[in-house]
């Protein structure tokens, strides 16, 4: 340990146990643990030096970004070295002609959004944690969010990466061009793999022109079948469709109560969709209203609320985003973040409801999600603490039955590692493990996450 410290004397270090408290856990609820030291490199060379020092000292090390992860990926084991990228917070370059930017991994998402907006461009990755999550973490977890439907996940927004490998090699893949078919696109080894193959240090991102106008509508439908039909119609008619957020009735009610808002509709309907279009102002509102009217005429929509101002629109989104307020009323609960093929969605939901009711009659399931992407969230509670793992297992088993993904957004991290087999075959897990052994053979980097 002393050797480690002295070889890195020029790099910012924290060892005071009070200062270390900040680095003991992420947002997942995974048990906190005290690292032995926090290294805070300010550039790629310093990251490589930290990694080489850990390798030489054979010390396990955990990489940390904004600590907003929900799968325990950034939680250290007791005594780990933590390498925090928080000082790597420079936006190095914004190409205002081509619409790309090169940024360090520790840049906070909201700062990035703001900085490019000031230069006339738009970075469409957006999620609740925007104020503290860092772009390196977004890349490592392939973050999704509210606008995936239009712009893709982080994977589609990343043109190139710089990564430091566990042997200290700096892999500069800061590709700036959209199309590059020169062999394997190696960035995919590091996007969504939660830091088990290397440490993302810099990112080249794609930018988009800033949308001039945004319009919302909350619509009520009679069935999930109608929702799927609406989605197809909307995809065909509204190239500007950016969000398609589905809420089942019980979620809408729970969220309205938890956020102290009135339920938006007077009538009762089984299912709702909050739609958002964003794009050029010219003709967009007219097109959106025309689309909604046509869907009313053909009977697909039972009722529609079009907010008349920004305040009203925010109110609708506040209900959609009311999850954290619901959390407080549901202790203990399990929050699922799964992907299910659309055609099986309602059957899956019915089976989950049945299975939970049979075994945990005191619990309810609240369903909502970014359904444009097949991404379903479920909140299941109240449960007893000792029931949580069995409920996880039950829902993941049903997810596997429909060929779904046990995590569409949050990742595997430490928390879902034992459930990975529900979404990935033994052959796939073996291949991921082989690549880990190839690139990260000592397994000092982010040990205990995803596969090892």
Site for a second copy in 93-112 (CB under 8 A): 95, 97-100
29 makes contact with a second copy (CB under 8 A): no
Torsion of CA 46, 48, 53, 54, to 10 degrees: 120
**Conformation bin of residue 163: beta by default, left when phi > 0, alpha when psi is -120 to 50:** beta
From CA 66, how far away is CA 85, in angstroms rounded? 8
- Binding to a second copy by CB under 8 A, coded x per residue (else -) over 362-391, reads --------x--xxx----------------
Decide if 263 contacts 252 (C-beta within 8 A). Answer: yes
Show the CA angle centred on residue 397, arms to residues 395 and 399, nearest 5°. 70
Considering only 91, 168, 192, 351, the residue that binds a second copy (CB under 8 A) is: 192
The reply on whether position 397 binds a second copy by CB under 8 A is no
Q: How far apart are CA 265 and CA 247, in angstroms?
A: 13
Task: Compute how many other C-beta atoms are within 10 angstroms of the C-beta atom of residue 2.
Answer: 7
Shortest Å, Cβ 374 to a second copy? 5
The rounded distance, in Å, linking the Cα atoms of 193 and 39 is: 22
434 binds a second copy (CB under 8 A): yes
Selected from 155, 318, 382, 401, the binder of a second copy by CB under 8 A is: 155
Task: Judge contact between 29 and 14, C-beta under 8 A.
Answer: no
Among 23-31, 48-56, 136-144, 321-329, the segment contacting a second copy (CB under 8 A): 136-144
> Alpha carbon of 238 to those of 153, 180, 242, 279: distances in Å?
20, 30, 9, 10
Nearer to a second copy, 262 or 418 (CB): 418
The answer to the question of residue 133 lying near a second copy (CB under 8 A) is: no
Q: Which of residues 284-343 bind a second copy (CB under 8 A)?
A: 286-287, 290-291, 339-343
141 binds a second copy (CB under 8 A): yes
Interface residue with a second copy, options 33, 173, 257, 305 (CB under 8 A): 173
**Quick one: 289 or 364, whose CB is closer to a second copy?**
289
Closest Cα partner for 376 from 405, 397, 353, 414?
405
Nearer of residues 32 and 236 to a second copy, judged by Cβ = 236
Instruction: Verify binding: residue 221, a second copy, rule CB under 8 A.
Output: no
Does position 142 interact with a second copy (CB under 8 A)? The reply is yes
CB of 168 to a second copy, least distance (A): 11
Cβ neighbours of residue 357 closer than 8 Å, sequence gap 6 or more: none
Smallest distance from a second copy to CB 339, Å: 3
């Amino acid at each position: 340990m002393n050797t480690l410290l002295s070889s890195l004397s020029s790099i910012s270090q924290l060892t005071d146990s009070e200062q270390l408290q900040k680095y003991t856990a992420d947002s997942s609820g995974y048990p906190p643990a005290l690292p032995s030291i926090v290294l805070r490199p300010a550039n790629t060379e310093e990251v490589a030096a930290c990694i080489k020092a850990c390798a030489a000292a054979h010390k396990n090390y955990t990489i940390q970004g904004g600590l907003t992860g929900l799968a325990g990926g950034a939680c250290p084991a007791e005594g780990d070295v933590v390498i925090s990228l928080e000082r790597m917070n420079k936006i190095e370059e914004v190409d205002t002609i081509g619409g790309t930017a090169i940024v360090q991994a520790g840049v906070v998402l909201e700062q990035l959004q703001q900085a490019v907006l000031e230069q006339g461009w738009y970075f469409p990755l957006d999620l609740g944690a925007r104020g503290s999550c860092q772009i390196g973490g977004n890349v490592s977890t392939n973050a999704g969010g509210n606008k995936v439907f239009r712009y893709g996940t982080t994977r589609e927004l990343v043109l190139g990466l710089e990564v430091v490998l566990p042997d200290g090699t700096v892999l500069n893949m800061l590709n700036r061009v959209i199309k590059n078919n020169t062999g394997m696109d190696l960035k995919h080894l590091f996007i969504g793999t939660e830091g088990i193959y290397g440490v993302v240090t810099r990112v080249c991102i794609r930018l988009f022109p800033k949308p001039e106008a945004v319009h919302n509508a909350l619509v009520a439908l009679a069935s999930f079948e109608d929702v799927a039909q609406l989605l197809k119609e909307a995809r065909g008619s509204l190239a500007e469709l950016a969000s398609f957020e589905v809420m089942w009735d019980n979620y809408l009610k729970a969220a309205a109560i938890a956020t102290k808002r009135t339920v938006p509709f007077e009538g009762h309907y089984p299912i709702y969709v909050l739609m958002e279009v964003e794009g050029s102002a010219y003709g967009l509102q007219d097109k959106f209203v025309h689309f909604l009217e046509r869907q009313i005429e053909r009977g697909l929509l039972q009722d529609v609320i079009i907010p008349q101002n920004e305040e009203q629109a925010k109110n609708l989104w506040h209900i959609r985003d009311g999850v954290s307020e619901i959390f407080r009323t549901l202790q203990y609960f399990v929050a699922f973040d799964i992907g299910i093929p659309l055609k099986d969605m309602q059957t899956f939901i019915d089976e989950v409801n049945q299975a939970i009711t049979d075994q945990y009659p005191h619990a309810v399931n609240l369903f909502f999600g970014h359904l444009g992407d097949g991404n379903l969230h479920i909140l299941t509670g109240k449960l007893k603490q000792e029931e949580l793992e069995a409920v996880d297992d039950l829902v993941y088993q049903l997810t596997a039955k429909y060929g779904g993904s046990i995590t569409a957004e949050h990742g595997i991290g430490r928390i879902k590692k034992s459930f990975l087999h529900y979404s990935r075959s033994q052959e796939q897990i073996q291949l991921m493990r082989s690549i880990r052994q190839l690139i990260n053979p000592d397994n000092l980097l982010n040990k205990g996450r995803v596969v090892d």
